[in-house]
Amino acid sequence: MAEKNKNKSFILRIDSATMDAIEKWAADEFRSTNGQLQWIITEALRRARRLPKKQNTTD
């Protein structure tokens, strides 16, 4: 059975100077802009200890 996509999409409005900085950072890290934004958000959540615990799914 195909696994359901667990990603959610949404619109993000961001000022152009911030977006330019994110795009440059992403290029420096060899990531896409979307990948860089996901990494930034995940790191912020991890540092704030707000990421949910990973569950074992062995079914």
pLDDT tens readout for residues 14-53:
999 999 999 999 999 999 999 999 999 999 999 999 998 7
Residues 40-51 have pLDDT tens digits of 999 999 999 999
3-state secondary structure 1-59: CCCCCCCCCCCCCCCHHHHHHHHHHHHHCCCCHHHHHHHHHHHHHHHCCCCCCCCCCCC
Which residues touch 24 (CB under 8 Å, ≥6 apart)?
Answer: none
Q: What mean pLDDT is predicted for residues 4-19? A: 92
The whole-model pTM stands at 0.76
